[in-house]
Structure 1
């Protein structure tokens, strides 16, 4: 019985020691409060950041990756002083990519920013917002409000709005994608008309591998009903992507 009581006592100690982690991580130092971190990117370049205290050494801090003209999620957590005072400095490790994006061999630009935390709007520490400006600078704000709130204390108001250049670039990619799909269906219909046996055999082999349930009622690639089925599928696909291409042309920024 005594042995059981000792084991129970040890378990209670372990549970007590883990409480702070189960509640969201180790407690903030005295005089500080743990807040969530958000990133907002008002520029046309992909952007990554990590925010840290100046005395954090090699720690690159808390942050995330954000696409052009976008906002990130919620990252936990960063310790801020409960009460603001002049001269609070933060270190922001920032990277952005010029060219095709972070994963396409673009040039990476790394920079370490030292920024001063502006006064807390309501006298208390709020969530920490790290914002890359349209010009490539960095701003930080501590607030529980969002950028589109009427009482948002930051210099930049509202959420990012994509530039015309960026919207046209995105449109060109989507239009190119739709056009490629349309051409693929047109080519497949042409092959079905010019070389029906080979086209039917190739489609049958593909359907057997990837969509067997769709062709279970046909006896083979030379089933006339399968030929009708395939032609209908390809014709409907062509019509769908024709409509997408036409709609894309109407929506060009």
Structure 2
């Protein structure tokens, strides 16, 4: 009877020891959310295909936005070292790759990937779409066509407003 009582604590201790690595692996993972991916092409060449961290991002015709595709995963909380790897092609033969920092965001939203006229790629996590006055991409690189106002006319604020 003493032998039987000794086996239960020993078996329990063994199970706990075996589960510790699994529990430790789960503890350090930050909370994250799957989000849609949308490409914006500001260039004169269609983006035949692009990927975000190896997952499909879709395509985008020249000077236009592609549709939203599923999915990328972003952390619920932004960190200063947050980056994504973007890979894209215009001809399905030659691929380009860029590692891009994601600017600060306060809440999770879609992942917007911008292919700019100067060859750079910018990425934002946002609940807004290009055309909104508060969209994070501003300045001369914001319009899909050079020289146009990127903010939709019906959303433009009156001067001084």
Both structures adopt the same fold (TM-score exceeding 0.5): yes
Larger radius of gyration: 1
Within the alignment, does 1:46 sit opposite 2:46 as a pair? yes
What RMSD in Å do the two structures reach over aligned CA positions? 2.0
Matching residue of 1:161: 145
Q: How far apart, in 2, do the equivalents of 1:65 and 1:38 lie? A: 9
Matching residue of 1:66: 60
Q: Which stretches in structure 1 are left out of the alignment for 5+ residues?
A: 1-28, 53-59, 103-107, 164-253
The 5 A counterparts of 1:1-253 are: 31-47=31-47, 48-52=49-53, 60-97=54-91, 108-120=93-105, 123-155=106-138, 156-158=141-143, 160-161=144-145
Shift of 1:162: 7.0
Q: Which has the higher strand share?
A: 2
Shift of 1:62: 2.4
Q: Which stretches in structure 2 are left out of the alignment for 5+ residues?
A: 1-28, 148-161
Larger RCO (CA within 8 A; separation ≥ 6): 2
Q: Which has the higher helix share?
A: 1
Task: State whether residues 55 and 71 of structure 2, in contact with CA within 8 Å, keep that contact through their aligned partners in structure 1.
Answer: no
Q: How many residues align?
A: 116
Q: How far apart, in 2, do the equivalents of 1:117 and 1:30 lie? A: 16
Cα offsets for 1:175-220 (capped at 9, x unmatched): xxxxxxxxxxxxxxxxxxxxxxxxxxxxxxxxxxxxxxxxxxxxxx
Q: How far apart, in 1, do the equivalents of 2:80 and 2:94 lie? A: 30
